[in-house]
Amino acid sequence: MQDTAQLEAIRTEDALALEAQAGNEQALRELVGRLYPGMYTFVLRMLHHEEDARDVTQDVFLRMVAHLADYRGEYKFTTWLFRIAINRARDVMRTRGRTMADLDALPETEGFLEGPDGLIRAGEERQKLLEAVRRLPESVRPSLLLAYQQGMPHAEIAKVLGITPNAVKLRIHKAMQLLRKKMEKYR
């Protein structure tokens, strides 16, 4: 039997955000609970550092609360939220000096971090793939992550990144080319 929880789950994040905006604390709690895993994973793949990923993810949600009243529902709530996340992740990278040059200087597997629940299910190939993603330039990585990790359509990624959908396609194409090259290098 389809239970109430399942029916509840199909309420959209946009609807939950509007309910939270209207003062519903339960909706806010549910919204954070639902969006946390995807957001954390995204930030982790951006920063490659577990502690930073936790801090930034939490900060994103606290900023979300502070600016919840500004959300007007003209576009998807997650578009708005990922925009905050990318800006915060970039701030952290800037302030901590974690650039691509630094990453390239690291040994191949150092700093490779997965979640704390022992969910390292990826085989060797997957680890190599993650390593290759990790070494993608910052200019193309967000587009790739939003497309393939978050399943966002190009138009929505364009809104998150403030670029045109065509630029998104080009960046993803570039990222895929680089990934293929890096994977060949590992083989």
Q: Applying CB under 8 A, which residues contact other proteins?
A: 1-2, 6-7, 9-10, 12, 14-15, 18-23, 25, 28-29, 32-34, 36-38, 40-41, 44-45, 54, 57-58, 61-62, 64-66, 68-69, 73, 114-122, 126, 129-130, 133, 145, 148-154, 156, 166, 169-170, 172-173, 176-177, 179-180
Nearest residue (CB) to other proteins, 93 versus 172: 172
Nearest residue (CB) to other proteins, 15 versus 103: 15
Name the minimum Å distance from CB 97 to other proteins.
Answer: 24
Nearest residue (CB) to other proteins, 101 versus 119: 119
User: What single string gives the DSSP state of each residue in the chain?
Assistant: ---HHHHHHTS-HHHHHHHHHTT-HHHHHHHHHHHHHHHHHHHHHHH--HHHHHHHHHHHHHHHHHTGGG--SSS-HHHHHHHHHHHHHHHHHHHTT--HHHHHHS-TTTT----TTS-----HHHHHHHHHHHTS-TTTHHHHIIIIIS---HHHHHHHHTS-HHHHHHHHHHHHHHHHHHHHHH-
Nearest residue (CB) to other proteins, 45 versus 88: 45
